[in-house]
Amino acid sequence: MNKVVDYSVIKSLLRDGMTLMIGGFLGCGTPEGIIDLIIEMDLKNLTVICNDTSFVDKGIGKLIANGNAKKVITSHIGTNSESGKRMNEGSLEVELSPQGTLIERIRAAGSGLGGVITPTGVGTLVEEGKEKILLNGKEYLIEMPLKADVALVYASKVDPFGNCYYQGTTRNFNPIIALAADTVIVEAEEVVEVGQLNPEVVMTPGVLVDYIVKGDF
């Protein structure tokens, strides 16, 4: 089974108004080619779920600077001046979620769990509008799962079935978002033959992946 396609197929899968999860941490481990495609298509009103909004000229930051997103659910926007500017102007809605909570909300959606019960954020602005529960004498927040229409995953190596390997710190959100979207697209630095990835080092099983595109990193 070969899931490798070219960018024209990826283009046909993306539309205005979609909710996208995108991998990467300050641009490390982000599918840059698909970001560039979204900018070229000039998609509008996207909701983007990601760790951070990177830098103005790198990774997810480019989408923000180009005005493709109407909302971002993230843990940090401080390294991208366009995020704060657009938020203040009112053209970008920013929902901040603590990093550990954000990843667990995504994992919960992708793992069939009804939510996350976490002590992080208790006694802060993060608890506003959320249910709190007391368990064994300690307060926790109930945080809701997060799903997306499409997950845009970076991989260092992928085989044609979609088995992914992530090098170094590029892994970050990538294997988790691959669980939580209706359609999962992988952009890889290298596409290897089936059998070349040792099953022991596969970090995302190919069964989760729908489409693969070879990136130019």
Partner 1 sequence: MAVDAKVAKEIIAKRVAMELKHGQLVNLGIGLPTLVANYIPKDVYVTLQSENGMVGMGPTPEAGKEDRHITNAGGQYVTINNNGAFFDTAMSFSLIRGGHVDITVLGALEVDEKGNLSNWIIPGKLVPGMGGAMDLVTGAKKVIVAMQHTAKGDLKIKKACQLPLTAKGQVDMIVTELAVMEVTEKGLLLKEIHKETTVDEVIKLTEADLIIDENLKVMDL
Torsion sign over Cα 29, 33, 39, 43: negative
**If binding is defined by CB under 8 A, does position 152 make contact with partner 1?**
no
**If binding is defined by CB under 8 A, does position 61 make contact with partner 1?**
no
Considering only CA atoms, give the Rg of the chain: 17
Which distant-in-sequence residues (6+ apart) come within 8 Å of 30 by Cβ?
22, 23, 24, 54, 58, 59, 60, 154
The correct pick among 35, 109, 176, 186 for binding partner 1 (CB under 8 A) is: 176
Q: Which is nearer to partner 1, 114 or 123 (CB)?
A: 123
Span interacting with partner 1, options 39-47, 49-57, 193-201, 206-214, rule CB under 8 A = 49-57
Specify burial of residue 135 (Cβ count, 10 A radius: 0-12, 13-18, 19+).
Answer: exposed
**If binding is defined by CB under 8 A, does position 55 make contact with partner 1?**
yes
Span interacting with partner 1, options 62-70, 143-151, 173-181, 193-201, rule CB under 8 A = 173-181
Residues of this chain, 72-131, that bind partner 1 according to CB under 8 A = 74-79, 84, 87, 94, 96, 98-101, 103-104, 107, 118-126
**If binding is defined by CB under 8 A, does position 174 make contact with partner 1?**
yes
The correct pick among 90, 129, 137, 168 for binding partner 1 (CB under 8 A) is: 168
Span interacting with partner 1, options 7-15, 32-40, 165-173, 194-202, rule CB under 8 A = 165-173
* CA separation for the pair 200, 213 (Å, rounded): 23
Q: Which is nearer to partner 1, 43 or 146 (CB)?
A: 146
What's the token pair of residue 170? 């590029």
Coil vs helix vs strand at 1? coil
Question: What is the DSSP code string of 161-215?
Answer: T--EE--GGG-TTHHHHTTSEEEEEEEEEEE--TTSS-GGG-SB-GGG--EEEE-
What's the token pair of residue 204? 């995302």
Number of helical H runs and strand E runs in the chain? 6, 11
CB of 171: closest distance to partner 1 in angstroms?
Answer: 5
**If binding is defined by CB under 8 A, does position 51 make contact with partner 1?**
yes
**Residues near partner 1, by CB under 8 A:** 25-29, 51-52, 55, 74-79, 84, 87, 94, 96, 98-101, 103-104, 107, 118-126, 156, 166-176, 203
